[in-house]
Structure 1
């Protein structure tokens, strides 16, 4: 009996030791079962069986030890196991994964290399390898997981093709957060012409990070690629072509992922917060979508509209171009003359065109490259192949020039072929421009005198505006966005015009009332509908806030920001319209915070400042309290707390500190209001004294978030609703650093990737903190997108 007990204890202890002692190697005599773990020598990566998300299937995968939910590679991604009976075995030089009936559900490829003592080892870079026990050179590995990527592009992994074996290393998205099977999006090296990194949806290019120019991929700004943490490499020889990156600091944890929506995201692990922080995304804006502006055009996010034909080119379909459909691109104003007389026009600061129809030579000079292109009638442009130093090599294009982007920094020179007559026209235009500049210098005294007169007129106009108490716009205003003052031309409307448009400020045309004063709907003679603000005598705001709003709106151009002369509309909203509004507001805020030439903090984002056009598209309005930042300034403090309670972030309402994260908080409140159809301020519930944020948080932690949705929305997609609530709660967290920025929020709303767990919201109220007004019986509290609140 004692012997039996000893054997039982020994068996249990042996089993415990087998699964608990960290090991990184398996030999052919060992098997690896569900519940076992393999841990790399440095403890960075772990291998085992797992079930993703809500899936019941079992998969063999590799993940970060510090973040078990962050899976970087899956063996049987398209053939899940149905139970926990999976076993991994290493035969002579092949890995096989067996199910409960000993059938093979996955196996590694055979190798032409032989090994005396083959072992399976998990390396500390995340690479799972089959190799000879005494061999550490990757060239002599029998098999490695890095040759078969899933959705994650890790440091030291190659993206490209082995020209000897013909195998491609392609990063492919998961189908969904619950299914690691091969999705429809992939990142690969397109080897046509000069090889370039592309993101594809099926067989179609979706986005193009670009080709290697000696320093970086051509589609990225210099700052993004010249990061001290990373070192990039591109290799093109007789045996292989690939792109990869290395980490200069081995302590950094970073990964590049293609999510199920086709967005490439780089995440870095922050040890302070114990979270993955989003470092960059691609595509990051509409210009990064492949061929967004069509052929022979360029895309510039700093301009409106973003698309424009190359110089001396015309829209191929002018009517479509006017309606902002640029897919047909542009055509030459004057055909090329192949018999002679063509030349080249130099463009600077560009992401070079698609190189799939290009040819290159490493040894030619730029002058030789120009001569070569002139001799070939099909050659349309040329550039340096390598931009290091003074540049070297030759890269030429044949056919259409597609997917050109104007970069804010680090762009390249491109020489586009032109007819001689077009070059003469351009030269005359430039000469004329120089003469005009000389005239401006000569006439500077008259200009100063004119500005003095204009200043007097402006002063008189301001006094008239104060007496009339209406929202007339100054004709010319001096504006300082942090980079120097400039003049802005604005339309002028006299009092009679606006009085006629609003039927003399009739009550029937009153839309609502805000902190500035009443807002009226009006119609100009040409039929254009307008919203008119009229300054109230009792308003806490005045001319400065009005000027601030008009000037900011005039400077900013985005489809989700209200323009001067826009219209409002109120209507019952189904779920599709609500989620469209949420997405539109998110993109508008992203533009304000990151993509506009100014860096704007709105400071008063709320439901009543979201106007809807005829198609129910949202427009962010009311920039009277907005602040613009210059340079790297990211936050500020004020002693004058103005805005709308219920939307204010805790740090602003209590301490007067505001930043882009203040707007993020307001956006989170807005999401929860749109989902629920209730306002945060004054919200009441018969079961508790929580505000809307507290109510949403309570439902979330009790696993009942779907109860938050408004009963009147009709049919909806559960996943979309839950995701909106999740993002809303992330945005209203107490600490600004815990909230996502708007770039992350936009991606969260549009993707299916796993989201971090939200923490308790700021201004979370319980019964002891509740407003005394909450003790009154609850009444219906619906939000309206055209009711304006006093501030």
Structure 2
């Protein structure tokens, strides 16, 4: 059974089956075995996140090989870890101690020793000053510019062994401070300098994953990768050598800055860029020198730089011109239009093109090279404009051609439709089409005297009466009498009367109508239309009789 503690004093301790829990149960600290070994480590981990996510290990380089370790205070108030033999395997080595010390685990993940007789803010030791491989909110990386001493994140040896690995993440205090990743003494990657908004070289993407930043998603219950680096080849420190820039979208990615040329052209052309580039023309070291503006850049290595937080950009340019070794300048802070000054001396190292979050830098050039660079830039700009115009014209031509082809297809389709319509009209001459004026004229403008009854299919006109009297041809208007064949007209009238018969089950369905139209089969004699007026003797004691009102709703199709 695990016993949870909230704090320990100099007279208390934490054993293998005990843990220290933060006030809001966010973090937990205690002894854990890692990997497939039985090695014990005193760790801090997220309490309610699965799988167990460790954020700090006290004895990362000195594991305990038995089940009876203890975390306690020394008599002087210094936190230590002892093994079963009482040998100290880890010590906080706190410079300050207190006999009234209290050990607490805060909800930030910070393990602190407080002086019990003082206020809460009097912390005599804290784990945040000694980070492992994880940087938590509230934890700081710092460097003493005088002594050069700094703290750092150091990778694990592997995923199950917290022993110090090869990679370190820390602040470089030479020149303007910048975050770097090193392997031993070798500089691998720079995150760039802080410009008030972001580090100018923080990558977006995934490749080596030497440095990763995660955010916990409580909704998905998983760690989400927010940021990592290096992102690509251009993030490798000094890939292109001195006085060059790296653009991952180019092939090859390295090119000399304007006004510079490869130091050893043959070697450079063999895809070995380590020797970098040198000036084509030396600086005059006077006011005739000028500056070429580069935008969207990860700023160069600041280990050989000078900065002033209060200087304007115009003053920064003048300051650079005063020193012949000055090679470039830039704003220190990009907020509110920019402020501060940063100046680089001698060679420019590790600059790259950033697509999303780079900034401006001004590279110093001799007057003649500045003119050449401007001309080259104008040529590139002109070439870009011409390419853009050409692309636009090509695009418009392509669109026009597509529209032309589609219009031809539509015209051809319309023509074919007209031809088919004419053919259909010729083929279906037995079903003539009458316009509205013709029908209105034939019914005397739908005169009431011509209506014999009304039902589900509208007015039934004189056709039924003329049919019974064998005078069907009188139904045909004189104005169209010469344009139709009598037999076809009689067939259409007969079909119309069949479709308005009183009983719905006597009426032909649409498939039968289609056969009637397309064939010469003998049609049945139509029966009385629906709602035909019956002649009934009047009676005062009998209600008036009507035919049964039966209606049919079928699929609506043209008759």
Which category describes the TM-score, using the shorter chain as reference length?
A: 0.5 to 0.7
- CA distance in structure 2 between the partners assigned to 1:382 and 1:162 by the alignment: 25
Whether 1:99 aligns to 2:83 is yes
Equivalence map 1:640-679=2 (5 Å): none
Tell me which residue corresponds to 1:121. 104
Tell me which residue corresponds to 2:70. 87
> 1:282: Cα distance to partner?
0.8
Equivalence map 1:420-435=2 (5 Å): 420-430=367-377
- CA distance in structure 2 between the partners assigned to 1:165 and 1:421 by the alignment: 44
Whether 1:401 aligns to 2:355 is no
Equivalence map 1:771-786=2 (5 Å): none
1:1-21 Cα shifts (integer Å, max 9, x gaps): xxxxxxxxxxxxxxx6xx43x
- CA distance in structure 1 between the partners assigned to 2:150 and 2:395 by the alignment: 69
Secondary structure in 2 matching 1:415: strand
> 1:162: Cα distance to partner?
5.4
Whether 1:174 aligns to 2:121 is no
* 8 A contact 2:259–2:279 mirrored in 1: yes
- CA distance in structure 1 between the partners assigned to 2:116 and 2:58 by the alignment: 22
> 1:435: Cα distance to partner?
7.1
Secondary structure in 2 matching 1:428: helix
Whether 1:161 aligns to 2:108 is no
Gaps of 5+ in 2: 406-559
Equivalence map 1:198-597=2 (5 Å): 198-220=180-202, 263-339=210-286, 341-430=288-377
Gaps of 5+ in 1: 1-15, 225-258, 460-791
* 8 A contact 1:186–1:262 mirrored in 2: no
Tell me which residue corresponds to 1:234. none
Tell me which residue corresponds to 1:187. 169
> 1:204: Cα distance to partner?
1.2
Tell me which residue corresponds to 1:29. 11
> 1:437: Cα distance to partner?
8.3
- CA distance in structure 2 between the partners assigned to 1:436 and 1:399 by the alignment: 33
Q: Which of residues 11, 17, 25 in structure 2 aligns to 1:43? A: 25
- CA distance in structure 1 between the partners assigned to 2:151 and 2:137 by the alignment: 14
Q: Structure 2 length as normaliser, TM-score?
A: 0.66
- CA distance in structure 1 between the partners assigned to 2:61 and 2:52 by the alignment: 19
- CA distance in structure 2 between the partners assigned to 1:395 and 1:294 by the alignment: 21
Secondary structure in 2 matching 1:400: coil
The range that moved more, 343-352 or 431-440, is 431-440
- CA distance in structure 1 between the partners assigned to 2:343 and 2:80 by the alignment: 48
- CA distance in structure 2 between the partners assigned to 1:193 and 1:291 by the alignment: 17
> 1:308: Cα distance to partner?
1.9
> 1:97: Cα distance to partner?
0.8
Whether 1:108 aligns to 2:55 is no
1:667-704 Cα shifts (integer Å, max 9, x gaps): xxxxxxxxxxxxxxxxxxxxxxxxxxxxxxxxxxxxxx
Secondary structure in 1 matching 2:335: coil
> 1:283: Cα distance to partner?
0.7
CA RMSD across the alignment: 3.2
> 1:447: Cα distance to partner?
5.8
Secondary structure in 1 matching 2:268: helix
* 8 A contact 1:173–1:262 mirrored in 2: no
> 1:172: Cα distance to partner?
0.6
Q: Which of residues 130, 133, 151 in structure 2 aligns to 1:151? A: 133
> 1:165: Cα distance to partner?
9.4
> 1:359: Cα distance to partner?
0.5
- CA distance in structure 2 between the partners assigned to 1:416 and 1:440 by the alignment: 28
Q: Structure 1 length as normaliser, TM-score?
A: 0.47
1:225-284 Cα shifts (integer Å, max 9, x gaps): xxxxxxxxxxxxxxxxxxxxxxxxxxxxxxxxxx9x871011222334432232221112
Cα separation, partners in 2 of 1:337 and 1:111, compared to 1, 3 Å: same
- CA distance in structure 2 between the partners assigned to 1:220 and 1:314 by the alignment: 28
Cα separation, partners in 2 of 1:344 and 1:27, compared to 1, 3 Å: same
Secondary structure in 2 matching 1:389: helix
Tell me which residue corresponds to 2:50. 67
> 1:367: Cα distance to partner?
1.2
Cα separation, partners in 2 of 1:124 and 1:437, compared to 1, 3 Å: closer
* 8 A contact 1:55–1:178 mirrored in 2: no
- CA distance in structure 2 between the partners assigned to 1:358 and 1:440 by the alignment: 40
- CA distance in structure 2 between the partners assigned to 1:153 and 1:83 by the alignment: 30
Between the two proteins, the alignment pairs up a number of residues equal to: 400
Secondary structure in 2 matching 1:67: coil
